[in-house]
Chain A
Amino acid sequence: MDLQTVTDSLVSGVLLGGILALTALGLSIALGVMRLVNLAHGEILVGGAYLGLYLLRWTGLDPVLGLLLIGVLMAVLVYPLHGLLLAPLSGQGLEAPMMTMFGVSIILQNAFLLFFSADTRSIDRPYAATPVHIGSITVPQIYLIGFVISVIVIVLVHLLIARTRFGRELRASAADPGAAAANGVDVRRVHALTFALGAACAAMGGTLIGIAFSFSPTSGASYLLTGFAIVVLGGLGNIFATLVAGVALGLLQSLGGVVFGDGYRELAGLVLFLVVLAIRPQGLLSGRGS
């Protein structure tokens, strides 16, 4: 395997890492703010991909252009779930909400199966199958597009959380719900919005995945797990850390791919993940423990 190949795959690893970071962002926010292990995250992601697919089929709108719309749609769809399923479980420890979301995930999986059949789908866009040359490096166009979009979205989310009133309320609720409430923050509403925000990110990431690769009703699980890996690498609820962790994981996966063959890329990622856990339980980059 020559140098060209190595650089190419490392670069695409980095780019893909950005996309993965976007898919993990929602998970991270939910964990950090609501302490929710969202086992339905993968299905929400796949749902986003289906949204993109049918948006294209029915309206002919290019999913990349309609990405924001997809995010908003998904947010609107899941917002009620919080009040319906999660809010009543607050203060019941973490298994109850976790298993509720697991219930949701299997329901969603079967809903997909029912409505979209078990077929493997892929959003067919030209840029998914055309190379782009940056100097001597060749990477799939979609990787580049996806990376740029992901970074933009992540930065926007960061600004939302760092600069806006909602962001303040969100961080406050995460740090000390009691005190936040006492200062006039409607913690429950903040949580619901956070949940929706997370779902929106997942949906957008899912669409990108759906264009770059393929998806089926059951392909959520693997993205859920990569998501968890990234989140813990970055530290809970830490936006930019999530991006860095995503890129790090992507890079490491392709390193694993280059060195041991593609079969080992995910394994390599998870092993790194476990090592980090053992050394820095509070996450690779977050200064504070949880």
Chain B
Amino acid sequence: MNGAPQDAAVPLLVASGLSKHYGGVRAIDEVSLTLPRGTVLGVIGPNGAGKSTLIGLLGGALRPTAGRIQFDGVDVTGEPAAERARRGIGRTYQIPRPFLDMTVRENLLAAQYSLEPFIGRQRALDACDGILERTGLADAANLAARALPLLRRKRLEVARALALKPRLLLLDEVGAGLVDSEVGDLIALIRALAREVQGLIIIEHVLRIVRECCGELLVVNFGRKLAEGHTAAVLASEQVAAVYLGTAHAGAIPSPQAAAATGLAGLVQANAPQAEPAGVPLLELRDLHAGYGLARVLTGIDLVVRTGQAVAILGTNGAGKTTLASVISGLIRPSAGELRIDGVNRVGAGPHQIARLGISQCMEGRRIFAPLSVAENLLLAAGRASKAERSRRLDLVYGVFPVLRERRAQGGTSMSGGQQQMLAIGRALMSRPRLIIFDEISLGLAPVVMDQLYAALAALRAAGLTMLIVEQDVQRALDLADEVHVMEHGRIALSGTATQIRDNPVLRHLYIGTAD
């Protein structure tokens, strides 16, 4: 495509000592990798381990704090994304970013025309339609991208990257949320692609895709390289299994939390002044539908959470877990169905009203307020409580997470991911809630931190807090919850007690994809 050296001796991509730091957080730290021509490299690791950051650095969306990137023997470290794309580096976004107000075909044409402004119209169209055909989007060619549901948007990401006729293709979790059969198709597609492009880097949660597509595998954790080598070998290693599958924790709760538990009691039980008898439905969803614009994410959810219960919602990426959480907390207005709190239908109530009903949410991605200090982040949620009451609650939260007391004067986002998550949990507690929705709190956290968090959750539960846990991490959720619902494609596919679910084969199928 352009005059860069093509001889096979030069590896397609060489990244040396790549680092990306945000303030104190080291998203990527000293990662080096070499991609010989014709290889398919898989990158795995817990969410938030820095995989997407890595892609960003390679694709040029992010400027590295340190390190160099050579593509095809040329140093491209300084080049902006557009120039790298023109050299033939194509990428997809984990959260799809299609051009929402253009048709699917136009999305591809954009890539075509940016490369060859004077390409014959017909040729361009044919090329696009060809790609749409392969990616199974042909039927949607003239739809506005806005109208596509999440999974198809992910397809569009791939298609758009292909329209660039890339030599190196970076795929970021394109398999997420696919069911088995779809995974099969995707694998076929990736294999076909591997023959066309000169190199392929795949970030994937779906182990089956990793196994069947990637020759080489790189495991990232906390932004550092954890392991590297032939896929089979790497996957076999205990360490990797531990880190990645997130089963690294000892089942028992560390003792220090016991102390906290008593404090917690003060925080939570006050919420049930007339000592609500356990088992009264606190939250009830009836045939709930919701979505964004035309994309319907939730299609008929029925769910009951009783006081004192710990309910877990499991499910693949894009199954609608977080949407469900947002609907409950009033951030998204359901398109149909009922949202009952204490038996009263609250559809249409604003988030702050829901919050004041004693339902608080520990939001996905923490959503800490950067301009507010740690203490202020906590106080904010205390709302109209009296000064004395506020400081009482502060102390209790500090009791649970002593580190927050040390950092109380700091900016909320200046802390590490784990500490921020603690802050988020503390903040959810400050309103003396009756029910807390924990949304993906384990996202990209060190196992040890996860242990602390889940210990805290256990303590809260012991203290009698009702909780709804939305989780990626099956094991932990199962350990904590007494009732579990597994979501798939916007509906609840499987329900039961933790024990029932635990040994249910369907779970593995739905969640990780049948491990052969």
A-side residues, CB < 8 A to B, are 165, 168-169, 171-172, 174-176, 178-188, 288
Contact = CB atoms under 8 A, between A and B. Distances in A.
B97 interface: no
A181 B380 contact: no
A181 B330 contact: yes
A178 B330 CA distance: 10
A183 B355 contact: yes
The binding surface of chain B is classed by DSSP as loop
A183 B372 contact: no
Given A165-B379, A168-B380, A172-B380, A182 B372 contact: no
Nearest to A187: B352
B381 interface: yes
Contacts, number: 66
The 4 A-B pairs with the shortest beta carbon distances in the complex, nearest first, are: A181-B351, A184-B355, A179-B367, A183-B381
Interface stretch (B160-168, B183-191, B255-263, B356-364): B356-364
B372 A172 contact: yes
Nearest to B413: A175
B367 A176 contact: yes
B371 to A, nearest CB: 5
Contact of B369 (A180, A184, A288): A180
Contacts of B351: 178, 181-182
Interface in B345-378: 350-352, 355-356, 360-361, 363, 367, 369-372, 376
Centre residue among B360, B369, B383, B431 by max chain A CB count within 10 A: B369
B431 A183 contact: yes
Contacts of A169: 380
B387 to A, nearest CB: 10
Specify which of A174, A186, A187 lies most central, judged by the most chain B CB atoms within 10 Å of its CB.
Answer: A186
B188 to A, nearest CB: 40
A182 B369 contact: no
Contacts of B350: 181, 186, 188
Given A168-B372, A186-B350, 10 more contacts: A165-B384, A176-B367, A178-B351, A179-B363, A181-B350, A181-B351, A182-B351, A182-B367, A183-B355, A186-B352
B376 A183 contact: no
Contacts of A175: 369-372
A185 B380 contact: yes
A4 B192 CA distance: 82
Interface string B303-345: 0000000000000000000000000011100000000000000
A142 B133 CA distance: 75
A186 B356 CA distance: 10
B431 A174 contact: no
B323 to A, nearest CB: 13
B427 interface: yes
A179 B325 CA distance: 13
B446 to A, nearest CB: 24
B404 to A, nearest CB: 16
Given A168-B376, A168-B380, A169-B380, A184 B330 contact: no
Contacts of A185: 352, 380, 383
Nearest to B355: A184
Contacts of A165: 379, 384
Contacts of A180: 369, 380
Contacts of A182: 329-331, 351, 355, 360-361, 363, 367
A176 B351 CA distance: 13
B352 A172 contact: no
A176 B364 CA distance: 13
Contacts of B379: 165, 168
A184 B383 contact: yes
A174 B371 contact: yes
Given A169-B380, A181-B351, A183-B380, A176 B369 contact: yes
Contacts of B384: 165
Contacts of B376: 168, 171
Interface in B380-432: 380-381, 383-384, 427, 431
B364 to A, nearest CB: 11
B240 to A, nearest CB: 34
Contacts of A187: 352
Contacts of B331: 178, 181-182
21 contacts: A168-B372, A168-B380, A171-B369, A171-B376, A175-B369, A175-B370, A175-B371, A175-B372, A178-B331, A178-B367, A180-B380, A181-B351, A181-B352, A182-B330, A182-B355, A182-B361, A182-B363, A184-B360, A184-B383, A186-B350, A187-B352
B381 A184 contact: yes
